[in-house]
């Protein structure tokens, strides 16, 4: 799942984390075909022995994608999850800030809502503290709830040395060399 095009922002979740029922608390009511989706994520043969139509298989795959995302948002707030995301951050996997005065600052994924299917993932620049669309339209299709509203801020609190100083420079519009008056 993480290696599919457009899913580069996701980190791999430890199987131990997924198998711990405590980490799945409350998710069975949010995800249809929960047990089948969980079996698909863990790559185990379904113990239920059921056979499905092509349409049902597609629903289970969709449910597995949603379940993985909902587990992912919890996992990246743990120590191991943050360490995995730190590697991605250092490799610029989440992209760089498009703002000129941020000088290619690496960004972090952020959701504008914690509610699934309400918005797509965006990137947060810790230098200008603004939010942008990811460069790739494929990455931009991921659900923002799978990264949550908390992640980038907790990440920068955890790894305080990575927080850059705020951008000191800002663009000043000029016409023939004169600053444009702002009303």
Domains of the chain by residue range: 93-162
The beta strand positions in the chain, using DSSP E, are 108-110, 122-125, 130-132, 174-175, 178-179
Stated pTM of the model: 0.87
* pLDDT for the residue 48: 59
Arithmetic mean of pLDDT, 98-107: 95
Whether the Cβ atoms of residue 122 and residue 112 lie closer than 8 Å to each other: yes
Look at the domain 93-162 and name its fold.
N-terminal domain of TfIIb (2.20.25)
Q: Which of 74-88, 98-112, 113-127, 129-143 is predicted least confidently?
A: 129-143
Residue from 122, 118, 127, 117 nearest 151 by CA: 122
Reported as a single tens digit per residue, the pLDDT across 114-154 is 999 999 999 999 999 999 999 888 777 899 999 999 999 99
Contact call for residues 110 and 124 (beta carbons, < 8 A): yes
For residue range 36-73, what is the model confidence (pLDDT) as tens digits?
A: 899 888 887 765 556 778 888 889 889 999 999 999 99
Res 3: pLDDT: 65
Q: At which residue do the structure tokens 């929960």 appear?
A: 34
Phi-psi region of 11 (alpha: psi -120 to 50; beta: other; left: phi over 0): beta
Q: What are phi and psi of 130, to 5 degrees?
A: -125, 170
Residue 1 is predicted with a pLDDT of: 66
The tokens for 163 are 């927080």
DSSP secondary structure string, 88-123? HHHTTTT-B---GGGTT-B-EEE-S-SSTTS-B-EE
CB 133 within 8 A of CB 122: yes
Mean pLDDT of the 23-29 span: 92
How far CA 120 is from CA of 26, 139, 140, 144, 148, in Å, comes to 22, 9, 6, 4, 10
- Conformational region of residue 42, where left means phi above 0, alpha means psi within -120 to 50, and beta covers everything else: alpha
| Share of residues in the chain with pLDDT > 90 (%) | 68
Reply yes or no on whether the pLDDT at 165 is more than 80: yes
């Amino acid at each position: 799942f993480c290696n599919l095009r457009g899913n580069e922002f996701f980190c791999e979740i430890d199987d131990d984390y997924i198998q711990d029922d405590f980490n799945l608390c409350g998710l069975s009511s949010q995800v249809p075909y929960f047990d089948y989706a969980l079996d698909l994520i863990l790559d185990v043969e379904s113990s239920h022995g059921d056979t499905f139509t092509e349409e049902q298989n597609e629903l289970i795959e969709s449910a597995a994608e949603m379940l993985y995302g909902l587990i992912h948002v919890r996992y990246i707030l743990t120590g191991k999850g943050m360490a995995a995301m730190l590697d991605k951050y250092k490799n610029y996997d989440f992209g760089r800030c498009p703002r000129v005065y941020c000088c290619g600052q690496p960004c972090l994924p952020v959701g504008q809502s914690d509610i699934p299917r309400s918005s797509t993932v965006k990137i947060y620049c810790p230098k200008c503290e603004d939010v942008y669309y990811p460069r790739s339209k494929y990455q931009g299709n991921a659900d923002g709830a799978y990264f949550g509203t908390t992640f980038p801020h907790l990440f920068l609190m955890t790894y305080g040395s990575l927080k850059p100083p705020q951008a000191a420079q800002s663009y000043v519009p000029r016409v023939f060399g004169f600053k444009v008056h702002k009303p």
